[in-house]
Structure 1
Amino acid sequence: MSGVGGEPDFDADATEEADATEDAGAVKKAEGTEGTEGADGTADTMDLRLPDELLALIAEEETEPSGSGRTDNQDSAVSLAPPTATPRADLRMPYDDLLDGVAEWGPAATPGGLFHLVPVRMERDLPLISRWMNDPAAAEFWKLSGSASVTEDHVRDQLAGDGRSVPCVGVLDGTPMSYWEIYRADLDPLARHYAARPHDTGVHLLVGAVADRGRGLGSTLLRAVADLVLARRPSCARVIAEPDIRNTPSVAAFLTAGFRFSAEVDLPDKRAALMVRDRSLRHLL
């Protein structure tokens, strides 16, 4: 489902083998220049422990309600008590998701600010998400404009599922500003349209506020979320997206975020660009 301006995404690929050959060559060429990698293709990292004083300070800041947040481009209907001020127990899904606990992934530092993925709570988030879906740029691709019940039905279908898709609000420096769907692409109907691999993880993105679009923020957040997926899901080798091929800004944002174009695929509701971010190439793209 979705793109940066807003749109759902699916994808499939008959050219995966050629892409994989090129990817392998790129990785081999880069060998010895990107740090040490393990046999499974993941980069070795050092386990560093932060000082107790710094950990305490971080914990204090994360539990403190943010009344300031971002003041530039802030949506007028956004509450001053952002979702990140909600107790941790309130962020959990009503079931164990199949994505290694999205609610527990934690924040990501980005050039645009500190970013959190916060699982949707309908009573809290529906009015804001519904208003975003009624923006003309979003409505063209997401097709969820109209009364709040249209968006509610779409989101409830995911919340009532078995954990293969987790709808989230993206919170940047304390301000809710985007809608995300993190999903198991290999367990999704999308898998019938491309050469899916176990634990492929898909992303859909809608940047809510018009002022946050067209300035590179979408690609910044896409890269951050793809990095989160690969860091928190060691079994996942690829992050997948399938924006509508007509949504040029969305496709461009994925390319800028380190995804590669894999194929054009015909899906039930659109012709999509299958975009792939490979674990093995994440330091190169």
Structure 2
Amino acid sequence: MPPTEAGTDTGAGTDDTVELRLPDELVAPFGTDQPLGGEQDGDPGGDLLDGVAEWGPATTPLGVFQLVPVRVRRDLALISRWMNDPAVAAFWELAGPETVTAAHLRAQTGGDGRSVPCLGVLGGVPMSYFEIYRADLDPLARHYPARPHDTGVHLLIGGVADRGRGVGGALLRAVADLVLDNRPRCARVVAEPDLRNTPSVSAFLTAGFRFCAEVDLPDKRAALMIRDRVLRHLL
């Protein structure tokens, strides 16, 4: 995860996000009509995340935001360029030719639907990359007391100009709210940023996540962050 700073609290309740619709001319280039997982590898044949493509937009202090599931052919060049930014590569470890990023994306888009890679589109512009995944079905579940339907979030901010000014915290809060609004069986949103990435941990705290533990994962020592449904309006 690239360095991000704590952002401004959105202050947005669920009533602010349900009825919003992005103009067709903004969302059409990003293919929100595509089935879960993208068109290039076919429908993965399952929906374990309650239709991320249909979640719709959310309002944030920065503008209207939407998760748009990745299409590898369309989005590979952009995401690969982000992955080759040194600040991103230090934590994602996906620097290199486009084939490196393509393999990472296709493992998800061609899978069983337990992880959905998405562009984060703010004001009609793709500017971040998210992975929404079933934490309870992920290897992460071996390292913490997982509960059914725990939903995980990974984030990178693509542009340098969007880092260090509160964007990460604002988007993380919006995405966590989208998860909780659209996945009624999910009681917790989970994240595991690298413990060394202090700005990223700070962004999760600003977004209403609480620090629960340090967790030794195969590739990093992580900060286990959880946003609880029952506490969402208190943190």
Which of the five TM-score ranges fits, normalised by the shorter chain?
Answer: 0.7 to 0.9
Alignment counterpart, residue 158 of structure 2, candidates 208, 223, 238: 208
Amino acid paired to 2:182: R
> Are 2:223 and 1:273 equivalent residues in the alignment?
yes
| Equivalence for 1:259 | 209
Aligned match of 2:46 = 96
Identity of aligned residues (%): 70
Q: Which one of 122, 138, 146 corresponds to residue 172 of structure 1? A: 122
4+ runs deviating over 6 angstroms: none
Where structure 2 has 5 or more consecutive residues not aligned to the other structure, the ranges are 5-12, 38-42
- Which structure 2 residues correspond to residues 184-263 of structure 1 after superposition, within 5 A? 184-263=134-213
What residue number does 2:7 align with?
Answer: none
Task: Name which structure has the greater RCO, CA cutoff 8 Å, separation 6+.
Answer: 1
Inter-partner Cα distance in structure 2 for 1:87 and 1:246? 35
Q: Which amino acid aligns with 1:150?
A: V
Mapping for residues 35-184 of structure 1, pairs under 5 Å: 62-65=23-26, 82-83=29-30, 86=31, 88=33, 90-93=34-37, 94=43, 95-184=45-134
- In the alignment, the residues of structure 2 paired with residue 97 and residue 87 of structure 1 have an alpha-carbon distance, to the nearest angstrom, of 16
The residue type paired with residue 251 of structure 1 is V
Is there any run of 5+ residues in structure 1 with no aligned partner, and where? Answer: 7-42, 51-57, 67-80
Aligned to 2:145, what secondary structure does the other structure show?
coil
Shift of 1:87: 6.0
Assess, with a 3 A threshold, how the Cα gap between structure 1 residues 258 and 149 changes in structure 2: closer, same or farther.
Answer: same
**Deviation digits for residues 225-247 of structure 1 (CA, Å, limit 9, x no counterpart):** 00000000000000000000000
**Structure with greater strand share of residues:** 2
How much has 1:195 moved relative to structure 2?
0.2
2 CA distance for matches of 1:135 and 1:4? 9
Q: Which residue in 1 is equivalent to 2:8?
A: none
* Aligned AA (1:276): I
* 1:4–1:220 distance in 2 versus 1, CA, 3 Å: farther
- Corresponding residue pairs, total: 219
TM value normalised by structure 1:
0.73
SS at match of 1:64: helix
Write the letter of the residue equivalent to 1:62: P
1:269 deviates by 0.3
Contact 1:119 1:166 in 2 (8 A): yes
Code of the aligned partner of 2:135: A
Aligned-pair RMSD on alpha carbons? 2.1
Q: TM-score, normalised by structure 2?
A: 0.88
